[in-house]
Structure 1
Amino acid sequence: MTETTTFSRVAVTDAAASLLRDLTAQHGPLMFHQSGGCCDGSAPMCYPVGMFLIGPSDVHLGALQVGLDDPIDVHISEAQFEYWKYTHITIDVVPGRGAGFSVEGPTGNRFIIRSRMLDDAELEAFGLR
């Protein structure tokens, strides 16, 4: 029997997953978009599905499994992806003021990105080597 390894460009911490479950109960299905802008645009923005339109140049990084029926898709602008294509990102949450249009804003928490460089196996799997 051959073992298959699945690689992902995105992950979520337990704390962020817990907040996402609460926010999904309140707002319905959610999605993330990471742009390359300044201010709020540099934070991962969490929206109810359908409130932010993904464009043809946005890149789907993956989906977060947080214990819901549907995974939470994560997208990034194409320009930002060019800078981050060698990076694995983890969405986390910390106390603080959330981004203006992101659904966590009123909770007293904000989503952040933690990152690391892709390892050799991930680089190979994503065709970057």
Structure 2
Amino acid sequence: MAPPPRILATDAAVAMIGALRDKHGPLMFHQSGGCCDGSAPMCYPAGEFRVGTQDVLLGQVAGNVPVWIGAAQFDYWRHTQVTIDVVPGRGAGFSLEGPEGVRFVIRSRIFTDEEADALAAAGEPPRGDS
């Protein structure tokens, strides 16, 4: 069995990411483990958030938008498939979608035993540079 993707995005999120990319150019996401808006996926212009060795690459959404997660948060979520979605409302963070009247949120599901085995066999996901 091929390993499942660790990160997905809903159609609505992909559409918003496309609109933001049209306005701001290449994008990236970072998911920290902080409280409040720190627990929401934050969308930045590519390179505006410095990724380090304590960040894990979950994968890419919307074609080529990398999604990073802090290592401590990844340790908690490694058993889940994460999906970025978008809902009406406004967060209080620096994420690019805020002025659009929407906010990105995370939805998740636990990997099946077979999926978890396939991910374990594939090895650890890449980490950022220092």
Using the size of structure 1 for normalisation, the TM-score is 0.88
- Equivalent position of 1:100 in the other structure: 93
- Equivalent position of 2:46 in the other structure: 49
Aligned residues: 121
| More RCO (CA 8 Å, sep 6+) | 2
Which of the numbers 110, 113, 125 marks the counterpart of 1:117?
110
The offset of 1:120, in angstroms, is 2.2
Q: Would you identify which runs of 4 or more consecutive aligned residues in structure 1 move more than 6 Å? A: none
Identity, in percent, stands at 57
Contact kept, 8 Å, 2:57 with 2:68, in 1: the verdict is: yes
Using the size of structure 2 for normalisation, the TM-score is 0.88
- Equivalent position of 2:126 in the other structure: none
The offset of 1:35, in angstroms, is 0.3
Q: Which runs of 5+ in 1 are unaligned?
A: none
CA distance in 2, matches of 1:118, 1:5: 13
- Equivalent position of 2:16 in the other structure: 19
CA distance in 2, matches of 1:25, 1:9: 26
Contact kept, 8 Å, 2:3 with 2:115, in 1: the verdict is: no
- Equivalent position of 1:74 in the other structure: 67
Q: Which runs of 5+ in 2 are unaligned?
A: 122-130
